[in-house]
Amino acid sequence: MKQKAPLLILALVIVLGGAWFGYHKFVVNQNQEASSASSSTETPPDTTGTSSGEAQPAATLTDNTASSGGSVTQNAYDLTPDSNGLSKSTVVLKTSKGTVKFKLYSKDAPNTVKRFAELIQSKFYNGLSFHRVVPGFVVQTGDPKSKNKNDPTVGTGGSGQKLNAEINGRKHVRGTVAMARAQDLNSADSQFYISLGTWAHLDNAYTVIGQVVDSGEKTGGKDVLDRIVQWDDLVEIHFE
């Protein structure tokens, strides 16, 4: 009997130890499963892009201007394209001959339109001139050097940021707005022109960014676009 007692005690210890180990393993496994379930929770899909990877214009971009009280006001404009591919917001171009309005092809030329909008919001274009006008063909502006009409290098200036061409299927018809450039296809900057007619030879060679929706009031049978002459002032551009 004295020899059996230690054996019974040893057996009891083994049984109790096994039971504790099994319980401990169960608890650990449960905690691991809970942790795994938590970390694998599906995140919401990214709604800023498309499955094709196509670049999309921001629905709303803003220009922040600090007020005298130190607060910031938001001057928002909407580049979301409508059924015709044109932005909901309108560009208002005030000239010394009157006002012309156009909308932007923000889906067809997203990067160029974004840069163009940034320049408008920074008031880059305000006070420039139409340095190149070919009656019946195009009116062109956007060169900061045109503030000095006597500068012999007018027509060569820009904002200093070259843009990669975004050639699209938009045709050159009367009122088409497109970016001017040098011989290099990727040399457009801030200068842009408005077509005064239908010119197929310009199609697929320049980045078309917009279309005139209002050519302005008529005087003597001519609207604002047809009355602009070289060195007329571009008073200001803003969104509405």
| Contact in structure between 87 and 32 (CB atoms under 8 Å) | no
pLDDT tens figures, 174-184: 999 999 999 99
125 or 66: which leads in pLDDT: 125
pLDDT tens figures, 213-226: 999 999 999 999 99
The size of the chain, in residues, is 240
- What pTM was estimated for this model as a whole? 0.70
Provide the mean pLDDT of the chain. Answer: 78
| Contact in structure between 75 and 65 (CB atoms under 8 Å) | yes
Token pair, residue 79, equals 């580049």
Question: Mean of the pLDDT values across residues 201-205?
Answer: 97
Question: Count of CB atoms within 10 A of residue 42's CB?
Answer: 5
pLDDT tens figures, 107-149: 999 999 999 999 999 999 999 999 999 999 999 999 999 999 9
Burial 23-38 (b: 16+ CB within 10 A, else e): eeeeeeeeeeeeeeee
Question: Mean of the pLDDT values across residues 20-29?
Answer: 40
Please state whether beta strands 60-66 and 72-78 pair in parallel, antiparallel, or not at all (unpaired): antiparallel
Helix (H, G, I), strand (E, B) or coil at 151: coil
Q: Is the confidence at residue 26, as pLDDT, over 80? A: no
Where do runs of H (alpha helix) occur along 96-167? 110-121
List C-alpha distances in Å: 77 to 107, 109, 121: 15, 17, 10
